[in-house]
Amino acid sequence: MTSKQEFIEKLRNSNLRPTKQRINICEVLFNRDKTFHFTINDLFNLIKDKTGEKVSLATVYNTVHAFHKKGYLKEIPINSNQTYFDTNVTDHHHFFDVKEEKLIDLKNEDVGPIEIQKSIPGKKIKSVEVLVKLED
Amino acid sequence: MTSKQEFIEKLRNSNLRPTKQRINICEVLFNRDKTFHFTINDLFNLIKDKTGEKVSLATVYNTVHAFHKKGYLKEIPINSNQTYFDTNVTDHHHFFDVKEEKLIDLKNEDVGPIEIQKSIPGKKIKSVEVLVKLED
DNA sequence: TCGTTGTTTATAATTATTCTAAAGAAGATT
DNA sequence: AATCTTCTTTAGAATAATTATAAACAACGA
């Protein structure tokens, strides 16, 4: 069970005041056992369902972006009409079931080490992500 | 130099009649030495520049999607406001310079072989793509 | 050439995301 | 607790990529 104090800490670290709405968002994002893949719209609907209170879409966007910037959320690179985020911010990769539009985690051990043997002067590697598309 | 006949063949294979507009699109897409990363909007503007003729945005979308479906174009999984495509449909990976919003090819040799040691019942792997994000 | 079917186009519709500005809440200071 | 400042929430408007529409037009086959 994640405590409200942790949510407040996460919010403060992200330069956000802990408001009722943002705590509700945290409740849905972080109070769970398994990693959570979502779109803003998923999250928006879940907040209503799980907390019984509505938070405006603009607030959901703002808060998610602040968390992403701070590193509490990870953006998953997929071409989809909507942007996907992940509460698992550790280095890991994804399956994407194209038909069902569903993301599945790949543990780091499930994918061998990836060596990038090319570099661009003046640039450094920020992240390496593997996307495995699945079909039937 | 790619010939008009090849364009027509590509179009026919994609279930598209070879029209003037579509040939112009092919001219910009396929008549080049190096791989070409683009957004629909890039392409739309290049057609005007290179052929001197305007093709409607709707036609560009339709044609690109047909080529993508047929496998003559590849979609590059990046979260961006626009969708990126690639004329290089062989298995390969990308750098993405986040600051400049620019894609750079990685040859397959630049990235070691990637072994996916997990499988999902009833699903098979369609593609494996690595995206390496670059920062300064 | 004619008839059928597919295509192009401008424009409207849709949809995700961002912006705006007014009303409200948090935090600091007394 | 009252007050002031600063940040936040919200509904709704604005933006921007993409998709749909339907009327004029072009390709194809007979």
Whether A104 and chain B come into contact, CB under 8 Å, resolves to yes
Give the strand order in the sheet containing A102-106.
A102-106, A93-97, A124-135, B124-135, B93-97, B102-106
CA A92 to chain centroid, in Å, comes to 12
B109 and B65 in one domain? no
Overall domain count for chain A: 2
Among residues B136, B37, B39, B32, which one has the least CA distance to residue B92? B37
Q: What is the CATH number of the domain that holds A45?
A: 1.10.10.10
Q: What pLDDT shows up at residue B130? A: 94
* Same-domain pairing of A63 and A95: no
Q: Which domain holds residue B59?
A: 4-76
Residue ranges in chain B modelled with pLDDT below 70? 1-2
Cβ-contact B130, B93 below 8 angstroms: yes
Give CA–CA dist A92/B76, Å, rounded.
Answer: 19
Distance of CA A28 to the CA centre of its chain: 12
Rounded (10°) angle between helices B57-70 and B4-13? 80
B54 and B118 co-located in one domain: no
Q: For residue A127, give the chain B residue with the closest CA.
A: B133
Q: What is the pLDDT of residue A19?
A: 97
The confidence score (pLDDT) of residue B38 equals 97
CA of residue B43 to C1' of nucleotide C1, angstroms = 38
Residues of chain A with confidence (pLDDT) below 50: none
Q: How many other CB atoms sit within 10 Å of the CB of residue B100?
A: 11
Which DSSP string corresponds to A34-97?
S--EEEHHHHHHHHHHHHS----HHHHHHHHHHHHHHTSSEEE---SSS-EEES--SS-EEEEE
Distance from CA of B76 to the nearest CA of A (A): 7
Same domain as A70, residue A15:
yes
Same domain, A99 and A66: no
- Do B41 and B97 sit in the same domain of this protein? no
B71 within a domain of the structure (yes/no): yes
Nearest nucleotide to the CA of B16, by C1', is C6
Residues A68 and A101 grouped into a single domain: no
Q: Are residues A37 and A100 in the same domain?
A: no
Residue B98: per-residue pLDDT: 85
Residue B72 and residue B122 in one domain:
no
Residue A81 maps to a domain = no
B36 in a domain, yes or no? yes
Residue A85 lies in a domain: no
Burial tier of A12 (Cβ tally within 10 Å: 0-12, 13-18, 19+): exposed
| Shared domain check, B69 and B8 | yes
pLDDT in tens, B99-129: 888 899 998 889 988 989 999 999 999 889 9
Q: Would you say residue A82 lies in a domain?
A: no
| One domain for residues B103 and B53 | no
Return phi, psi of residue B92, to 5°: -160, 170
A121 by Cβ neighbours in 10 Å (0-12 / 13-18 / 19+) ranks as exposed
Q: Protein footprint on strand D: which nucleotides are under 7 Å from a CB?
A: 7-12, 16-22, 26-28
Q: Say how far apart CA B11 and CA B26 lie, in whole Å.
A: 9
Of B68, B92, B76, the residue nearest B37 (C-alpha):
B76
Determine, for residues A128 and B124 on separate chains, whether the beta-carbon distance falls below 8 Å. Answer: no
